[in-house]
Structures are given as structure tokens and as C-alpha cells.
Amino acid sequence: MNLVIDVGNTYIKIGVFDKSKIVHKCVIEQSDFEKTVSILQNEYPLITDAIVSAVSNLSDDFVKSIKKKFKTVFLDHIVKMPFENLYATPTTLGIDRLALVAAAVYQFPKKDVLVIDAGTCITFDFKNQREEYLGGAISPGLKMRYESLHNFTAKLPLLEIKEPKKTIGNSTEEAIHSGVVNGVLNEIDGLIKEYCNIYPGLTVILTGGDAHFLSKRLKNSIFATSNFLLEGLNYILAFNNSR
């Protein structure tokens, strides 16, 4: 069994996999990590391997703790991937994006796939039928757009994400909601259309924290999954263990 760990700036997402099937998932604060891992070890004593993806530097204590408990892969740009990375600057590519592309390769082999991760930033990552990663795009996410309007103007309020009641906002708050949400929706729909013009059989995946909010409002057919990144990390671990 595998332990998959995705370390964010605030929270840690953990998945326990029995081969390719996820049998447990949780989101915890970093301070609860040691306690949670001990509980999982008792509950799933067959866990032998782990993979760690982190957006920031890990403490020495964290690294030592994981290495002591499991045979561990720490995801970086040197780790072998189940696809060919044709990104011009591979060392600047976020490792979370690598995991998403790996998940696309695993779930949709030999297909053209666009993965859209709607989180703090909205990232677009494309892999083709030859399992080549070509790149994509990076754009500000919903929350970042609301914060930018507030932080870079003198009087615009800071609002929470909310579905606009109508396209034409007849108040400052409604105008902000319309501009931010409809702007993101039209941006995503527009990029999907451009990709589909080049790759007619395109499969589109939407994931990330804002995926469910956006998926109901987008025009294009989209597969949304909350475990996509964890599944990609598990596939990378399996791929490296099989070599």
C-alpha cells in the first residue's frame, strides 16, 4: 500500500492507496501530521511506500520522519515521469502540475488531454496522444482576482466568491461578481475552444478548489474529480517503483 502526501502552504492532503484504488483520504493541518501518520500506520499496517509533493521547502524533521517510516520518493524535477516533458524550462514547472499531467496519462492514455486546475492560480496543462507534455497557461484564480480589485484600488470592497445574479451588475458588488466570475468562465471556455480547434477529440479535466463552483457554469463537457492530483502522485510512485 502507498501513502500519498501533498503538502500545501497551510494544509496537507493525504491519500492511502491499495495499488491504484484510494481507500482513505483526509485534509489536515501541518501540526497534525505526525499524529495522523501514526493513526494511519495502525489502521493500514501494509503501507510500505510513500511519495511527498510539497509547494515549499520541507523541514529536516519532516523529511527524517517520513524516511524513517517508509520507502519515500520526494517529488522533484529529477524524478522519472510517465510522460516526456517538453516544457522549455522544466525546473520552473510546479511539481503539482507534473502530478496532474501524470494523472491524465494514467486515466486517459493515448488521448489529447487538457487539465485545468482552478485554485489560487488557474493552470492549464496539456499532454498529447504521444504522452508528451507541451505546456499550457497560468492565470489568476477567482480569489486572487477579488483580492487584486480590492488591493490595487482605493475604494473597491473585498468580496467573497459568489455567483453573479445577472450579467449586467447594477451595483458595485454585483459588477465585481459579474466581472470576476464571468471573466473566468469566458476565459476558460475560450481557451478550451482554442484547444479543441487544434485537437478535436480533446478530453478536458477540471480539478482544484474552485472546480465544483465553476463546473456547473461552464459550457463545455468536463470531468471533475477531487482526487485527481493524489491519483497522479500515486501513479508517479508506482511508475518509479516498477523501474
87 is in an annotated binding site: yes
Is-contact 115 205, C-beta < 8 A? yes
116 is in an annotated binding site: no
12 assigned binding-site residue: yes
Q: Is position 49 annotated in a ligand binding site?
A: no
Write the CB contacts of 93 (distance below 8 Å, at least 6 apart in sequence): 77, 85, 87
User: Does the annotation list 130 as a binding residue?
Assistant: no
Q: Give the C-alpha separation, 4 to 202, whole Å.
A: 29
**7 assigned ligand-binding residue:** yes
Q: Is 235 annotated as a binding residue?
A: no
Q: Which residues are catalytic?
A: 96
Cell representation of residue 58:
520541507
Binding site annotation covers 6? Answer: yes
Neighbours of 56 (CB within 10 A): 8
Per-residue cell: 143: 480569489
CA distance 101 to 114: 9
Residue list, annotated binding site for ATP = 6-13, 120
Residue list, annotated binding site for K(+) = 117
Residue list, annotated binding site for substrate = 87, 94-97, 172
Residue list, annotated binding site = 6-13, 87, 94-97, 117, 120, 172
